[in-house]
Amino acid sequence: MLAISAFLLALCSGVLSLDKLNMCMDAKHHKVDPGPEGKLYLQCAPWRENACCTANTSTEAHDDNSYLYNFNWNHCGAMSDKCKRHFIQDTCFYECSPHLGPWIQKVDQSWRKERILDVPLCQEDCVSWWEDCKDQATCKTDWHKGWDWSSGTNQCPAGSKCKTWAEIYPTAQSMCEKIWSNSYKYTTYTKTSGRCMQMWFTGPNPNKKVAEYYLNAQPHNSFSPTMLLVIPFTFIMMMH
Ligand SMILES: *[C@@H]1O[C@H](CO)[C@@H](O)[C@H](O)[C@H]1NC(C)=O
């Protein structure tokens, strides 16, 4: 009896907490569950050991107007390679990361059921993205909505003008937070802090520990569904 209770307890708490630390969001191209993907392409390769993206998605992430979203990076003239590599990395991070659980939210959108909100990005990753793009041009602040899609790919909407990056995004913070409608949150945490998510990394994925930290830091977690099981089981065990 004791063994069974202990087993059930371990199973329930394991499933409830592990899920959020190793899961894929319900979006357009994500796998149902994370797992090894030995053939992930170039910039997406760091996620090979455990990924929510397929090899096909990782290859497409490197292409202009790819079949993923038909998204046109060059809507105000050709985007430089120096800048574009950050958008490729952002795509790899979004499509491949299995550790975004704490920031996944349900959404009512035609193209996905879940999104990420306020993922705390490491300062270096946000600042280098902005630094490498700041001499580019764009016509919109929020790249998630408001485009003219009539041609099949996104174009600047009527009445908008191509402006310098600095006019649209005066700071690295404004770019990282506004470009994907608050998917990311700017932080002053650095990569060694363990308190921010890294878009760029090599070696074992450092973001699982970060997700774990934020998951445990959430106050509502102190009384999770797990606790509803823990209390009666503890009681039963004490009775023995
Ligand atoms: C990925 O899959 C799509 C849809 O099946 C296909 O059109 C595309 O050519 C594939 N891309 C690569 C790089 O294999």
Tens of pLDDT, residues 160-212: 999 999 999 999 999 999 999 999 999 999 999 999 999 999 999 999 999 99
Question: Over pLDDT 70: what percentage of the chain?
Answer: 83
> With pLDDT > 90 as the criterion, what percentage of the chain qualifies?
69
Report whether residue 53 contacts ligand 1, using a CB cutoff of 6 Å.
no
Residue-level pLDDT at 69:
86
Whether 125 lines ligand 1, by a CB cut-off of 6 Å, is no
Residue 72 CA to residue 52 CA, distance in Å, equals 23
In angstroms, what is the span from residue 42 Cα to ligand 1's centroid?
Answer: 16
Evaluate whether 24 touches 31 at the Cβ level (below 8 Å): yes
Backbone φ, ψ for residue 44 (5° rounding):
-90, -5
Reported as a pLDDT band with limits 50, 70 and 90, residue 235 is: low
Split at pLDDT 50, 70, 90, the class of 9 is: low
Contact 24, 98 (CB under 8 A): yes
Q: Please report the atom of ligand 1 found closest to the CA of residue 59.
A: 13
User: pLDDT at position 12, please?
Assistant: 52
Mean pLDDT, residues 138-165: 94
Q: What is the pLDDT of residue 100?
A: 96
Dihedral angle sign, alpha carbons of residues 194, 61, 146, 102: negative
pLDDT band at 64 (very low <50, low <70, confident <90, very high): confident
Ligand 1 center from residue 60 Cα (angstroms):
7
Mean pLDDT of the chain: 88
What is the mean predicted confidence (pLDDT) over 148-158? 93
Q: What is the pLDDT of residue 174?
A: 97
Greater confidence, 235 or 134? Answer: 134
Binding site membership of 67 for ligand 1 (Cβ less than 6 Å): yes
Residue with tokens 């992430």: 61
Predicted confidence (pLDDT) per residue in 100-129, tens digit = 999 998 888 888 888 899 999 999 999 999
Contact of 111 with 149, CB cutoff 8 Å? no
Average pLDDT of the segment spanning 59-83: 92
Tell me if residue 109 falls in helix, strand or coil: strand
- In the numeric block, which tokens belong to residue 4? 């069974």
Predicted TM-score of the model (pTM): 0.82
Residue nearest to atom 5 of ligand 1 (CA): 56
Ligand 1 atom nearest to CA at 60:
13
Q: Is the pLDDT of residue 230 over 60?
A: no
Q: Which residue is closest in CA terms to ligand 1's atom 12?
A: 56
pLDDT exceeds cutoff 80 at 226: no
